Amino acid sequence: MREPDYRIRYNRHLEEPNRLIVWDFKNNEEYYTDHFDMTDCTIRMQYENSIKQEKACGAKVILLVWRNGN
| Single pTM value for the model | 0.85
Kindly give, in sequence order, each residue whose CB lies less than 8 Å from that of residue 23, ignoring residues fewer than 6 positions away: 6, 7, 8, 9, 29, 30, 54
- The Cβ of residue 6 has, within 10 Å, a number of other Cβ atoms equal to 19
- The Cβ of residue 19 has, within 10 Å, a number of other Cβ atoms equal to 15
39-50 pLDDT, tens per residue?
A: 999 999 988 777
Strands 6-10 and 61-67: antiparallel
Q: What is the dihedral angle through the alpha carbons of 21, 26, 28, 34, rounded to the nearest 10 degrees?
A: -20
Q: What pLDDT shows up at residue 70?
A: 60
